[in-house]
Amino acid sequence: MTTPPKGPTSYFPSIERTHGRAIADWLDDMRASGHTGHKALVNWLKAEHGLGHGHANALTAYHLNPGKWPEYRAT
């Protein structure tokens, strides 16, 4: 039996479906953005990529602390 994702990773299927991009691509873009703080990254994702607050927050939370949610590993 598979454990359902928790925390921000629970948003990942919806993010991929809604925006048509793999999570690994979003994480690569976030690393390359030059933004480092939570608020700066969330605002950048919303302004530059049109993400809603929930999706931007989930990506940012994972990006800044991926070890907290080990059930997902970006490839």
Q: How far apart are CA 7 and CA 67, in angstroms?
A: 12
The structure tokens 């598979």 sit at 2
- Using a cut of 0.95, tell me whether the model's pTM lies above it: no
Both structure tokens of 40: 């700066």
pLDDT (tens digit per residue) in 18-47 = 999 999 999 999 999 999 999 999 999 999
Gap between the Cα atoms of 54 and 12, Å rounded: 11
Residue labelled with tokens 């907290």: 68
Q: How confident is the model at residue 68, as a pLDDT? A: 83
